[in-house]
A and B are shown apart, each in its own frame.
Chain A
């Protein structure tokens, strides 16, 4: 029996770095396919076997990105897009959280609000655009409004569902310890919904990036979406692809920031590592 214990004790410290190395290798493995494809495409175009005009090779896209970055244009466009997403996300997340909490916690509010909100949810968000333009003008406000609407629904639904699914048994423990209303919210209800709220926020942020593209394509004088349209109108596919890559990087970075902000609060979660 002691031999078994010694065996496992000795094996444990080695197993951890090996596991970590394995995970890093897996992550690198994901890079193989895109890199190989890029190299093949580059080679085909260079050898004159493929026409690089509609689908420019990586070197041309890279050069375009570099030019945009060096001239400061990329930063301007990225900043405009990011501002719109953050403003829309902030408004949508705030409204979604407040209304979700209301309908989740109060049956009266659920009866009053939820049917209307569910009906509004059935409308594809883009359909609001003409109305928003009439209401808010063609500049920032209508774009932010569209993004906010897109962000609102997943967060509203997520928060309401999270509150409804709070474990009654654990709330009872709070009652046994005689928590007042506020203490119950702070010490039991909020921590209980935190993981679901975070998941909803993440989903909302992703949708925010989806809707900013739509908003900017429909008319903007700056922003990564404008860059997309500009590339199309000038017949420059490299610019379009550069904008697409910038969208991907920006979205991933924003998501990473949200994850980093939430991580200290969700350390306790069983699935935290897999989810993040």
Chain B
């Protein structure tokens, strides 16, 4: 289980990127963070990754506070960030350098198959398209079998078709070991396709505006009424968050008086 305990981050220049975030993510859950730009989504992910330190509060993963990058946490960035001097296979196996080479080769081969890049092991990153490079990055992050996977708008630079196929690859990989996933996206369709829960955030200071459960069974039918309804709900919440409105529960509570 992943816990955010009254988490705040104020940058050196005084920007309050996050203030008082408290939340829990169950093991194996997929949580999507959505919200306008500047509401601290990237900051939150970097804190969880151990790349930055919180100013206040803590992040606890399975009973241990996170203060630096951990072996059981995988990260996929917005850009593929492959090492251009390593072949595709060596990029995917980057985190397995302690393993014997036969075992490593076996796991790299399997991971590449899983993202649909079997046979690409000897290619250089520059020979791949953007979508293929991002698939290599996914394989690189998942090959160490992390308990927690963090993704910051991982598919935002890709076209809709590539994105849809990557969603499938990702879910297939997720089903293998069921890691907890925290992902940032600005694509509502993507959030409703992948996530069990959607957290809508608001800026200045970065905080949680509202949370929406999305308990649809997988695989999800994009044309089903339930999917459409969930999408509309997220869009509506996002819209309210951008208009700096009150969150759903509080609003109904506040309005109750007017109704009577």
User: Which residues of B are interface residues toward A (Cβ below 8 A)?
Assistant: 49, 51, 68-71, 73-75, 77, 79, 81, 83-87, 94-95, 97, 124, 126
A interface: dominant SS: helix
Contact of A270 among B68, B73, B126 (CB under 8 A): B126
Could you write out 5 A-B pairs with CB less than 8 Å apart?
A169-B81, A176-B49, A176-B51, A194-B85, A270-B126
Interface centre among B74, B85, B95 (most CB of A within 10 A): B85
> What count of chain A residues pass the 8 Å CB interface test?
16
Are B95 and A169 interface neighbours, CB within 8 A? Answer: no
Give the shortest distance, in Å, between A215 (CB) and chain B (any CB): 37
Contacting residue for B51 out of A172, A187, A192, A270, CB 8 A: A172
Q: Are A177 and B85 in contact (CB under 8 A)?
A: no
Instruction: Decide if A169 touches B69 in the complex (CB within 8 Å).
Output: no
Choose one: B68, B77, B87, B94; the contact of A177 (CB below 8 Å).
Answer: B94
Beta-carbon nearest neighbor of B73 in chain A = A176
The answer on a CB contact under 8 Å between A191 and B85 is yes
Let me know if B83 and A188 touch, CB within 8 A.
yes
Contact A268 B124 (CB under 8 A): yes
A residues in contact with B73, CB < 8 Å: 176
Instruction: Write the chain A residue with the least CB distance to B75.
Output: A176
Q: Hey, which chain B residues are within 8 Å of A39, CB to CB?
A: none
Give the residue name and chain of the B residue nearest to A192 (CB): B85
Report B76 CB to chain A, min CB distance, Å.
10
Measured between beta carbons, the chain A residues less than 8 angstroms from B51 are: 172, 175-176
Q: Give Cα A38 to B86, complex, Å.
A: 48
Contact assessment for A178 and B85 in the assembled complex, using a CB-CB cutoff below 8 Å: no
Q: Are B95 and A268 in contact (CB under 8 A)?
A: no
Closest-by-CB residue of B relative to A169 is: B81
Among the interface residues A169, A178, A188, A269, which one has the most CB atoms of the partner chain B within 10 A?
A178
Q: Are A175 and B69 in contact, CB atoms less than 8 angstroms apart?
A: yes
B97 surroundings in chain A (CB, below 8 A)? 187
The complex places the Cα of A90 from the Cα of B68 at a distance, in Å, of 41
Does A257 lie at the interface of the complex (its beta carbon under 8 Å from any beta carbon of B)? no
Chain B residues contacting A170 (CB-CB under 8 Å) are 81, 83
Q: Which of A222-276 contact B (CB under 8 A)?
A: 268-270
On whether the beta carbons of A178 and B71 are closer than 8 Å, the reply is yes
Closest residue on chain B to residue A173 by CB atoms = B81
In the bound complex, how far is the Cα of B94 from the Cα of A176, in angstroms?
11
Residue of B74, B79, B84 most packed against chain A (CB within 10 A): B84
Instruction: Kindly provide the distance from the CB of B8 to the nearest chain A CB, expressed in whole angstroms.
Output: 22
Q: Quick one: closest B residue to A191, CB to CB?
A: B85
Known: A169-B77, A268-B124, A270-B126. A176 touches B83 (CB 8 A): no
Task: Check B79–A169 contact: CB distance below 8 A.
Answer: yes
Q: Which 5 A-B pairs have the closest CB atoms?
A: A191-B85, A268-B85, A176-B75, A177-B95, A268-B124
- Chain B min CB distance to A53 (Å): 56
Which residues of B have CB within 8 Å of A194? 85
Q: How far is the CB of A61 from chain B (nearest CB, A)?
A: 45
